[in-house]
Structure 1
Amino acid sequence: MKNYMWDKIKNNFHYFVNFYFIACCLACALVTLLPWWPSTIFLVIPKYILLFAPRRLLFLALLVLLFLWNNLSKIQKYSLPLLFFISIKYLDFGMNFNPNNIVEEHKIVKIITANIGEGGQVKKIKLLLKYYQPDILLLQDANSISLKKIDIDYMFFECVGELCILSKHPFERTNQLSRALVGGWGNFAVFYKLYLGENTLNIANVHLQSVHSLLVDIQKGSVNFSDIVQLEDNKRIETGILSSWIKYEPYSLIVGDFNMPIEENIYQENFSMINNALSDVGIGFNDTIRIDGLSLRIDHILFSNQFDLIDAQVIESLGGDHLPVMVSLIIK
């Protein structure tokens, strides 16, 4: 009787291990396919859950399989390295090293972008400018900031709503796009021509559609599908406009808070063929937002092919929930 019970327990445990392994494989497959998920309304909720859930959970789930090593089949053991690779990729761990050599200083432009909402501090912005000396600082959620108090070296500055620019070089605003286009308020993009010596750069400072309200509704279990349709349409309109702009404007950059990771299908549809600084040379974990257990890269600097990339990194916090991104580019 004891042998029978023991055999039954072992068989049940074996079934559990197989089920758990299959569940881990399915989770890895889902996150791998995220960039190519079809645009179906019924997949939007699981898409955002996978995009904005704490990503370390998948890696921790795979660690459990190491404790079950002796109960895994040979094929399952051979599959584990691939599963761990997928989980680390899902964590957005970069291993891209800089291929470019330093060139003459006058050909380099340094840009910093930062969303300074939720606690950004003026004194930390001053220290950032003093230490890194960027040519251009682009801010989002900056409507409460008085740029005149930040740094006298940055003679050229402007705020259009919550989108602000500080520059060592003269610029002119060429356009601005209001969320009234998508039934909202405020601007989601402001465009500039910046005159850096003999070079003219085209820059879009952006703060794209947020998904925060949808994530809150998902947590409450009170999702309105008409709101989902509107949200997805808004994001496609905003990203579509910016994607078209950068493709036809030479020496152009899209900089700011995109509110979307690179794995999102809407990002892939519109920006996958455009250079992303942190994706190209970012090393290690390049999270740009850390809040409530969420660590994610949703702030980006995209640039056209008229630039070469020297360096890209996430730098220290300015006091808010976003981390600034700094990029150094060679003007060809």
Structure 2
Amino acid sequence: MKKFDSILTFLAWSYLAVSITTLTFMYLAGDRWWPGTLLLYGPRWVLTLPLFPLLPLALWRRVRLLVPLLLAGTIVVGPFMGMQWAFSMPNNANGHVVRVLTCNIQTGNIDCKALSQLIREKNVDLVALQECPPSLQLDLPPGWQMIQTGILAILSRYSIQAHEPIMAPHPPHVWPRHSLLPCSVTTPEGEFIFGSMYLPSPRYGLQHILDRAIGINPRKADLLVAETENRQKVSELVRNSLKFRESPLIIAGDFNMPVESNIYQTYWSEFSNAFAEKSFGYGWTYRDYAYGIPINLRIDHVLTTNGAHPLQCFVEKYIGSDHRPVISDIYISRIK
């Protein structure tokens, strides 16, 4: 049994080392080097599986091994899987409060009745939609306005005026697609900027590199590398288009990247992220499968700056699309 105990000790401490190394690698290489991008968009929960045999074995043979195992479990279940721990509420939320909703509706593959009901029941003021078909019809209260450019749409119970949209390459589509639709929102208290965002996806590169025979084929990494480079350029383009806006700003939409992405950290981390700052949990907004293995990610975000501050944020249930609606209360402390 001494040999068994030695093996168990080795496995417990190795699991801690692997957890730390994997977390570090994801943050350093995610959307910077293709193996890190695979890890970033993969089924992260798989790293919890060693806990199931190791924890009971440690309780049976060596209780002190619970220390490295629990440390490893905290790392995996916490930061590696994207757990957010925020509970705080702003102390002086005495500005104008607006409730925004964002959802990628998967080219209209959504229950319009459920979305309309959600907007009504949750008293939403502004809606940002992505992959929105021109034929979309929602049952909203009288007086609501809608603007649409390409696959991006904004609906509002306030008066809105569209600004020049930003277009960028979205491979494998041949022609550039709309990446940002900004507009001015005029309320009785003043004006601010609201935008519907849709950034390019790494989906096709991720699908291309997967191989049913060997799992992952490094020789097919070229498309993922090219997509990552393009995604970085598009984020830079869109971010630069917002640099000189001084009005309170709310950007909501499908960023197609989690907050751990190096692209996100480079171009979007200076904004306040509503879920990251005001919510508890994982807040997964997107569901997919790879070889039948479920993958859950938080890639839809509500970002604020210039006197717009998140008050609370929550993710709703699926209503037909592969994305879940995200709702956030934003208060404007410096409205123009």
Shorter-chain TM-score tier: 0.7 to 0.9
Matches of 2:281 and 2:170 in 1, distance apart? 38
Matches of 1:192 and 1:100 in 2, distance apart? 26
Match in the other structure for 2:14: 22
Judge conservation of contact 2:170–2:177 (CA < 8 Å) in 1.
no
Q: 1:184 to 1:13 in 2, by over 3 A?
A: farther
SS at match of 2:230: helix
Judge conservation of contact 2:272–2:309 (CA < 8 Å) in 1.
no
Match in the other structure for 1:238: 234
Shift of 1:95: 2.4
SS at match of 1:243: helix
Matches of 1:96 and 1:173 in 2, distance apart? 34
Amino acid at match of 1:249: R
Q: Which runs of 5+ in 2 are unaligned?
A: none
Amino acid at match of 2:124: P
SS at match of 1:210: coil
Q: Does 1:11 align with 2:3?
A: yes
* Deviations, residues 63-84 of structure 1 (Å, cap 9, x unaligned): 332023155594x532233212
* Deviations, residues 106-154 of structure 1 (Å, cap 9, x unaligned): 711110000111731111111012101211011111115424x432435
Matches of 2:176 and 2:263 in 1, distance apart? 22
Q: CA RMSD in A?
A: 2.6
Judge conservation of contact 2:115–2:319 (CA < 8 Å) in 1.
yes
Max radius of gyration: which structure?
Answer: 1
Judge conservation of contact 1:32–1:86 (CA < 8 Å) in 2.
no
Q: 1:326 to 1:247 in 2, by over 3 A?
A: same
Q: 1:32 to 1:246 in 2, by over 3 A?
A: farther
Q: Does 1:279 align with 2:280?
A: no
Q: Does 1:227 align with 2:223?
A: yes
1:109-188 equivalences in 2 (<5 Å):
109-117=98-106, 119-143=109-133, 145-147=135-137, 149-180=138-169, 184-188=175-179
Matches of 1:63 and 1:244 in 2, distance apart? 47
Q: Does 1:323 align with 2:324?
A: yes
Judge conservation of contact 2:274–2:313 (CA < 8 Å) in 1.
yes
Q: Does 1:257 align with 2:254?
A: yes
Matches of 2:243 and 2:316 in 1, distance apart? 29
Q: 1:17 to 1:81 in 2, by over 3 A?
A: closer
Shift of 1:248: 3.2
Amino acid at match of 1:269: T
SS at match of 1:267: helix
Shift of 1:264: 1.1
* Deviations, residues 280-325 of structure 1 (Å, cap 9, x unaligned): 0112231101233111101001110402322111012221111111
Q: Does 1:88 align with 2:77?
A: yes
Amino acid at match of 1:117: Q
Judge conservation of contact 2:133–2:151 (CA < 8 Å) in 1.
yes
Please report the TM-score for the alignment, with normalisation by the length of structure 1.
Answer: 0.85
Please report the TM-score for the alignment, with normalisation by the length of structure 2.
Answer: 0.84
Choose the corresponding residue for 2:50, options 61, 73, 77. Answer: 61
Judge conservation of contact 1:154–1:166 (CA < 8 Å) in 2.
no
Higher relative helix content? 1
Q: Which runs of 5+ in 1 are unaligned?
A: 1-6
Matches of 1:82 and 1:212 in 2, distance apart? 33
Match in the other structure for 1:4: none
Judge conservation of contact 1:253–1:301 (CA < 8 Å) in 2.
yes
Match in the other structure for 1:201: 192
Shift of 1:260: 0.6
Matches of 1:198 and 1:260 in 2, distance apart? 34
* Deviations, residues 226-267 of structure 1 (Å, cap 9, x unaligned): 423321221111212333344432311221001111111111
SS at match of 1:209: coil
Matches of 1:154 and 1:294 in 2, distance apart? 40
SS at match of 1:143: coil
Judge conservation of contact 1:122–1:145 (CA < 8 Å) in 2.
no
Judge conservation of contact 2:55–2:66 (CA < 8 Å) in 1.
no
Matches of 1:180 and 1:58 in 2, distance apart? 34
Identity %: 23
SS at match of 2:259: coil
Judge conservation of contact 1:102–1:310 (CA < 8 Å) in 2.
no
Q: 1:218 to 1:227 in 2, by over 3 A?
A: closer
Shift of 1:170: 1.4
Amino acid at match of 1:284: G
Choose the corresponding residue for 1:214, options 205, 210, 216. Answer: 205
Shift of 1:188: 1.5
Aligned length: 318
